[in-house]
Amino acid sequence: MSCPPAQIGAPFSEIDTPALIIDLDAFERNLDTMAAAASKLGVRLRPHAKTHKSPIIAAKQIARGAVGMCCQKVAEAEVLVAGGVSDVLVSNEVVGPRKLERLAGLARHARISVCVDDAIMVEQLAPAAERAGSQIEVLVEIDVGAGRCGVRPGPAAATLARQVTASRFLSFGGLQAYHGSAQHLRTPEERRAAIAGAANATAETLRVLKDAGFQCRTIGGAGTGTFELEGASGIWNELQAGSYIFMDADYAKNLADGARNASPFEHALFVLATVMSTGAGEHAVIDAGHKALSNDSGFPLVLGRPDLRYHRPSDEHGLLEFDSASSRLALGDKVTLIPGHCDPTVNLYDWYVGVRGFNTPDARVEALWPVAARGAVT
Ligand code: PLP
Ligand code: MN
């Protein structure tokens, strides 16, 4: 692990680059806003740790009322449990004997749940839990429109639930009903229509399960783009939003009726970069390319400089293009970027640099937190 790019107490100007910055004030407001929203909607919040990969941040979410964490990988769950999180849902399918053995072992130390969408997974999970002497809660995942994982809504879910309850080392916990592709639909109307479809599919499955004698403790799903819809539906009772803590340039494009500030969440994650060359004078070259920013959902924006356009990233370089009227950047100047996609950007760094008073003359480093589950992909 690399050494942190700044020391605690240092002024903002002393942070070395590229660095992953958290605006602590905005981040804390985001945490509070989501905690209050979930409480007002009357649903549980189980935030997604795939965004932050940090037990320190998980603890802040749990302190504000979250019931536990979600993650996508067994390795992330291991880091969360080692860091003190006692209730983790792997909101994903886990396949292969080695992973199942680790998951079952982890369930000796924390409350662990996992998603399944195939009888073969249940066949392998049950003996793994038996060997570990542990108990694992299972959510049956249904495909509510994203076209990724999940069985078809309806009777297939009851078949899997029956298979789960046949093992005394497994318990049936309910449904995973996450509509991933709805999160980034650009208009509220599109998102509303997608979640209305997901709600019908989930309600139909709940009816089938009830007729078959199954109770669902958990009906989980939702992300930052749609959580208000699932939360108000009367169907879902556990929200799994992740990106709300940081927001990214892509989520900022989810506009309500073209209103710029439609989201209740603020950008709180940034990449600080330095101008390392001015080339032949046509542009600025910064030290943040593909290894400092994930560009899969679009390029970053430059904070406070809408006249600068990021483009042509290579491994270690990014170009900033000027408008004709722009004030030019000089060698050594620093720029603050709003990443296009927060989750994979976080996974590129060893450290979060938490800044208090971000974007003020008094901005200082208050916290250095490891991205503890960075690279935890198994
Ligand atoms: N739940 C599941 C199962 C996910 O895969 C994701 C993200 O991909 C989320 C919740 C969180 O979504 P977001 O980061 O958009 O809030
Ligand atoms: Mn994401």
69 within 8 A of 85, measured Cβ to Cβ: yes
- Token duo for residue 327: 């004030």
Paired residues of 71 in beta bridges: 90
The pTM is what?
A: 0.97
Q: Is the pLDDT of residue 255 over 80?
A: no
**Ligand at shortest distance from the CA of 191:** 1
Atom of ligand 1 nearest to the CA of 220: 1
Q: Which of 376, 372, 374, 327 is nearest to 57 (CA)?
A: 372
Q: 160-167: long-range contacts (C-beta < 8 A, 24 or more apart)? A: 160/116, 160/117, 160/118, 160/119, 160/122, 161/209, 161/212, 161/214, 162/212, 163/119, 163/122, 163/123, 164/116, 164/122, 164/138, 164/140, 165/214, 166/126, 167/122, 167/126, 167/129, 167/130
Per-residue pLDDT tens digits for 211-254: 999 999 999 999 999 999 999 999 999 999 999 999 999 999 88
Atom of ligand 1 nearest to the CA of 51: 14
**Predicted pLDDT of residue 259:** 61
**Predicted pLDDT of residue 325:** 73
- Burial readout 230-255 (b: 16 or more C-beta within 10 A, e: otherwise): bbebebbbbbbbbbbbbbbbbbbebe
Q: Could you tell which of 34, 44, 50 is best to mutate to test the pocket of ligand 1, judged by most ligand atoms within 8 Å of the CB? A: 50
Atom of ligand 1 nearest to the CA of 92: 3
Q: Is the pLDDT of residue 260 over 60?
A: no
- Nearest protein CA to atom 12 of ligand 1, as residue: 223
**Predicted pLDDT of residue 323:** 84
Lowest mean pLDDT of 10-19, 69-78, 184-193, 238-247, name the range: 184-193
**Distance (Å) from CA 180 to ligand 2 centroid:** 9
Torsion, Cα 193 199 204 209, to 10 degrees, reads: 160
**Predicted pLDDT of residue 257:** 56
Atom of ligand 1 nearest to the CA of 343: 14
Distance set, CA 229 to CA 75, 159, 179, 204, 259 (Å): 31, 28, 11, 18, 19
Residues in contact with ligand 1 (CB, 6 Å cut-off): 48, 50-51, 70, 91, 178, 180, 183, 223-225, 240-244
**Distance (Å) from CA 240 to ligand 1 centroid:** 6
**Distance (Å) from CA 341 to ligand 2 centroid:** 6
Per-residue pLDDT tens digits for 95-143: 999 999 999 999 999 999 999 999 999 999 999 999 999 999 999 999 9
**Predicted pLDDT of residue 101:** 98
Paired residues of 19 in beta bridges: 272
Tell me how far the alpha carbon of residue 72 is from its chain's centroid: 9
Q: Work out the mean pLDDT of the chain and round it to a whole number.
A: 96
Query: What share of the chain in percent tops pLDDT 70?
Result: 98
Q: 312's torsion region: left (phi>0), alpha (psi -120 to 50) or beta?
A: left
- Nearest protein CA to atom 3 of ligand 1, as residue: 91
**Predicted pLDDT of residue 19:** 98
Token pair 């270690």 is at which residue? 316
Helices (H), the chain: 24-41, 55-63, 74-82, 97-106, 119-132, 155-165, 188-211, 227-232, 342-346
**Predicted pLDDT of residue 301:** 97
**Predicted pLDDT of residue 256:** 56
Q: Which of 71, 56, 64, 59 is nearest to 37 (CA)?
A: 64
Residue 149 neighbours by CB under 8 Å, 6+ apart:
92, 93, 115, 117, 141, 143
- Nearest protein CA to atom 4 of ligand 1, as residue: 180
- Nearest protein CA to atom 5 of ligand 1, as residue: 180
**Predicted pLDDT of residue 232:** 98
Per-residue pLDDT tens digits for 202-212: 999 999 999 99
Helical pair 74-82 and 55-63, crossing angle rounded to 10 deg: 70
Q: Is the pLDDT of residue 258 over 70?
A: no
**Ligand at shortest distance from the CA of 180:** 1
269-295 mean pLDDT = 96
285-291 mean pLDDT = 98
